[in-house]
């Protein structure tokens, strides 16, 4: 073999080694899309379960505090009523004592008899006064309990509001994770990698209606929006029920709110050299459904 042939053989051998290295490196560093999808799905389920548990616990604590506050208010009202009743009885007894004393002054023979009755009445007045003081003390204590219960209720309400905010944050994180999971699954089905745009799938079981239409019919506002899972670039169909008519497609372009979304209308009919008729354009009340083609 000539020296040139030997050099070419060595050069081909080195190129084959480089090719083998690149092939092995590509195989080792590839992305396992299925494992990534399962990881996103597990994280989404754990986030949703934790958020629901926190919200239920905060709501149960708020209900318990509210029940305690209502019970304390009822006890306080009952004690106030009892104190008022005792005060009224004391006043009546004082009136009776004054009347008895006046009668005793007018009829001396009856004074001795009434003295014992007066002592009994004074003793009863003393007992009622003690009962009245106890009732007043109970009212003060119940008022303090009511104030404490109100503070607990306000604290529970603040905690519940914080938990609801946290639950909303977790829900947004869950929606983001779910969107990533759906996008990953869509890429797996389509056989494309990162950086390649994939149209979001319509929400399962989605049903909406046309809310408003622009003057030229190019843009349509539909309801619902983000609350039903709509995302930008989702493709939908718009149909009229009476008479049954397929009008065309809607592409979600933006303005996505919980209750509405802005879409671009792509008509099914495209007549040449003349505009679409009013019957060919969407109208408020027309049905919007997924386009799975």
Q: What backbone torsions phi and psi does residue 240 show, to the nearest 5 degrees?
A: -110, 135
89 vs 109, higher pLDDT:
89
Task: Identify the H or E element spanning 292.
Answer: none
Q: How do residues 242-293 score in pLDDT, each as one tens digit? A: 889 999 999 999 889 999 999 999 998 776 777 788 888 999 999 999 986 6
Residue with tokens 């149960």: 60
Q: Which two tokens stand for residue 205?
A: 């079981």
Give yes or no: residues 137 and 242 share one domain: no
Residue 282, CA distances (Å) to 28, 68, 193, 291, 292 in order: 53, 56, 37, 16, 20
* Predicted model pTM: 0.38
Sign, Cα dihedral of 110, 113, 115, 121: negative
Position 112 scores a pLDDT of 60
Give yes or no: residues 159 and 61 share one domain: yes
Q: How many domains does the chain have?
A: 2
Give yes or no: residues 217 and 126 share one domain: no
Q: Residue 94: pLDDT above 60?
A: yes
Report yes or no on 15 lying in a domain: no
Give yes or no: residues 40 and 128 share one domain: yes
Position 265 scores a pLDDT of 94
Q: Residue 177: pLDDT above 80?
A: no
Q: Residue 105: pLDDT above 70?
A: no
Q: Which two tokens stand for residue 284?
A: 């408020």
Position 240 scores a pLDDT of 94
Give yes or no: residues 128 and 40 share one domain: yes
CATH code for the domain in which residue 227 is found: 2.40.10
Q: Residue 80: pLDDT above 60?
A: yes
Report yes or no on 99 lying in a domain: yes
Give yes or no: residues 164 and 222 share one domain: no
Q: How do residues 57-72 score in pLDDT, each as one tens digit? A: 888 988 998 899 899 8
Position 285 scores a pLDDT of 95
Instruction: Name every residue whose Cβ is closer than 8 Å to that of residue 257 and which is 6 or more positions away in sequence.
Output: 225, 226
- State percent of the chain over pLDDT 90: 23
Sign, Cα dihedral of 284, 286, 291, 293: negative
Position 199 scores a pLDDT of 76
Task: Identify the H or E element spanning 196.
Answer: none
Q: Residue 38: pLDDT above 70?
A: yes
Average pLDDT, the chain: 82
Tell me what the mean pLDDT of segment 37-50 comes to. Answer: 79
Residue in 159, 146, 282 with CA at minimum distance from that of residue 223 = 282
The boundaries of the domain holding residue 252 are 208-290
Report yes or no on 18 lying in a domain: no
Residue 161, CA distances (Å) to 124, 196, 204 in order: 54, 41, 31
Instruction: Name every residue whose Cβ is closer than 8 Å to that of residue 28 and which is 6 or more positions away in sequence.
Output: none
Q: Residue 235: pLDDT above 90?
A: yes
């Amino acid at each position: 073999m000539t020296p040139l042939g030997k050099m070419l053989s060595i050069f081909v051998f080195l190129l084959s080694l480089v090719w083998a290295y690149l092939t092995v490196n590509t195989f080792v560093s590839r992305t396992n899309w299925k494992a990534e999808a399962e990881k996103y799905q597990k994280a989404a389920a754990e986030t949703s379960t934790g958020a629901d548990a926190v919200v239920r616990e905060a709501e149960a604590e708020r209900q318990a505090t509210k029940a305690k506050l209502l019970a304390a208010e009822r006890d306080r009202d009952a004690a106030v009523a009892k104190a008022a009743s005792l005060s009224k009885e004391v006043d009546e007894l004082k009136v009776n004592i004054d009347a008895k004393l006046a009668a005793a002054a007018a009829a001396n023979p009856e004074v001795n008899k009434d003295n014992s009755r007066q002592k009994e009445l004074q003793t009863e007045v003393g007992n009622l006064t003690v009962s009245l003081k106890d009732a007043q003390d109970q009212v003060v204590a119940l008022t303090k309990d009511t104030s404490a219960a109100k503070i607990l209720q306000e604290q529970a309400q603040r905690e519940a509001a914080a938990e609801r905010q946290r639950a909303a944050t977790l829900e947004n994180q869950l929606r983001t994770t779910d969107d990533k999971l759906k996008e990953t699954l869509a890429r797996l089905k389509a056989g494309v990698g990162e950086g390649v745009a994939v149209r979001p799938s319509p929400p399962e079981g989605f049903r909406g209606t046309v809310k408003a239409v622009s003057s030229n019919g190019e843009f349509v506002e539909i309801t619902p929006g983000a609350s039903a899972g709509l995302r930008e670039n989702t493709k939908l169909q718009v149909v009229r029920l009476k008479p049954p008519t397929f009008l065309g497609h809607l592409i979600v372009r933006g303005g996505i709110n919980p209750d509405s979304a802005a879409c671009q209308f792509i008509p099914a009919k495209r007549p040449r050299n003349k505009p679409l008729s009013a019957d060919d354009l969407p109208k408020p009340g027309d049905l919007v459904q997924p386009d799975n083609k």
